[in-house]
A and B are shown apart, each in its own frame.
Chain A
Amino acid sequence: MEGLINIFVRSVFIDNMVFAYFLGMCSYLAVSRTVSTANGLGIAVVFVLGITVPVNYLIENYFLSAGSMAWLGEGFAAVDLSFLSFIMFIAVIASMVQLVEMIVEKFAPTLHSSLGIFLPLIAVNCAILGGSLFMQEREYANIAEATSFGLGSGVGFYLAIVGIAAIREKIRYSNVPGPLRGLGITFIVTGLMGIAFMSFMGIKL
């Protein structure tokens, strides 16, 4: 249990998707004009990361990595399909997003109307594929750890996008130099937020 909390906190603050790896920057910049839309996208990302990372973990460990198909019988023990991981992961993500959208629409219509257009957009959000690829690279020991990492990364993205949206709402009232307006100042503010997040780096968990 301690290990799970550790992974969660690490992926929220220290290995933050936005500030440490710049993942999901496209939607981070495009959808952060107001806090309410940022909130919607953030929740959708937490949701989808929390589902796709464990699913891809199972696929990685029972089908793709070298020797992982031994459970199918002797003949499969030597098969190594790891070169297929990109295409498998993105297919899983695209179909999971579709599935999640249908389930949410059926069982939680209010949530669906608030997430609205964000769910389909998420299929091409780099943070989602990045989550799966980092999961593959860091070789988590079991599915609980992978889930904890997925949820933690999602929460990290949520914090980042809601934070920048709040700042951008306020920045509209200040006198920014013309060429920096809009995109430029958003980049610089994100950089400064990243520096603030780096102070978590020294924390040993």
Chain B
Amino acid sequence: MSKSEREPLFSAKNIKLLSTPLNDENPITVQVLGICSALAVTVMLEPAVVLAVAVVAVMGAANVIISLLRKTIPPRIRIIVQLVVIASLVILVDQVLKAFFYDVSRQLSVFVGLIITNCIIMGRLEAFALGNKTWPSFLDGVGNAAGYGWILIVVAFFRELLGSGTLWGYPVIETLGFYNLGYENNGFMILPPMALITVGIIIWVQRARNRKLIESN
């Protein structure tokens, strides 16, 4: 710890930990982690935002805990230790959601529990927190969770706007009066397969703008 105190908390290197996962190293579109629980909650904006916040909280905390314990965890049982830490944090989040946001917690159903097996969390614990100091680990966790969160929110924004004509439950399209002009909601956007296609299009746009991410096939 004392060594890391010497460099400023937000040095260029640390800022980079926070910002690369948002674009160049995005967990969903580049590292292909954590898609499991991401797509099913994106029909509406509200549950998507709640899940994104929950993942940021769990991941920041899990990275800090594992990073603090990194010298005491025997390598052979590290996966079980990581799972137990994550599962306990997820239980906390689940209980908080049930207590204060009961409706949203009903909508999310099993997907809160599935944060446990969200590969982003395990992946970053393995790849980063086990070998780095506490503060950079925290930034890495929050950065990756935020990179995951913004994709989730963008997908949910388009699916709710085009599928139900609302944003956060507020009837945008109706207020703008597009229905009178003959506009109709595209019910297809609510169905599960459209989440995949929306993410596919986001990947397309991102890689068209950021050419170094293109795969060689």
B192–A20 CB distance below 8 A: yes
A198–B193 CB distance below 8 A: yes
Cα distance A3–B19 in the bound complex, in angstroms: 52
Which residues of the other chain, B, contact A129 by a CB distance below 8 angstroms? 113-114, 116-117
Interface string of B5-47 (1 = CB under 8 A from A): 0000000000000000000000001001111111110000000
B91–A181 CB distance below 8 A: no
Q: Min CB distance, A15 to chain B, in Å?
A: 11
A182–B217 CB distance below 8 A: yes
A125–B207 CB distance below 8 A: no
Q: Of the 9-residue stretches A64-72, A147-155, A171-179, which lies at the interface with chain B?
A: A171-179
Which of B37, B191, B204 has the most A CB atoms < 10 Å from its CB? B204
The prevalent SS among residues of A at the interface is helix
User: How many residues in B have their beta carbons less than 8 Å from beta carbons of A?
Assistant: 51
B196–A182 CB distance below 8 A: no
B36–A24 CB distance below 8 A: yes
A125–B117 CB distance below 8 A: yes
- A21-B40, A179-B214, A188-B197 given as contacts; is B113 within 8 A of A133 (CB)? yes
Given contacts A26-B34, A126-B36, 11 further A-B contacts (CB under 8 A): A22-B196, A83-B95, A86-B87, A87-B91, A89-B113, A90-B116, A130-B114, A179-B207, A180-B203, A181-B215, A194-B196
Could you pull out 19 A-B pairs where Cβ atoms are within 8 angstroms?
Answer: A22-B35, A22-B196, A30-B32, A84-B91, A86-B116, A126-B36, A126-B37, A133-B113, A133-B114, A137-B109, A179-B211, A183-B32, A184-B200, A185-B200, A187-B196, A191-B195, A192-B193, A194-B196, A195-B193
**Partner-A contacts on B (CB < 8 A):** 29, 32-40, 79-80, 83-84, 87-88, 90-91, 94-95, 109-110, 113-114, 116-119, 122, 191-197, 199-201, 203-208, 211, 213-217
